[in-house]
Amino acid sequence: MRLLYCLLLVFSLAACQGAESTASSESNAVDANTEEGIVCKKEELQYLIGQPESVLAESNIVASKNLRILRADGFATQDYSENRTNIVIGTDGKISDITCG
Q: pLDDT in tens for each of the 101 residues of the chain?
A: 555 444 455 555 555 554 444 444 444 444 444 446 678 989 999 999 999 999 988 887 777 778 999 998 888 888 999 999 999 999 999 999 999 99
Q: Where are the beta strands (DSSP E) in the chain?
A: 67-71, 85-89, 95-100
pLDDT of 3 reads: 53
Output the pTM of the full model: 0.60
In this structure, are strands 85-89 and 95-100 parallel, antiparallel, or unpaired?
antiparallel
In whole angstroms, how large is the CA radius of gyration of the chain? 20
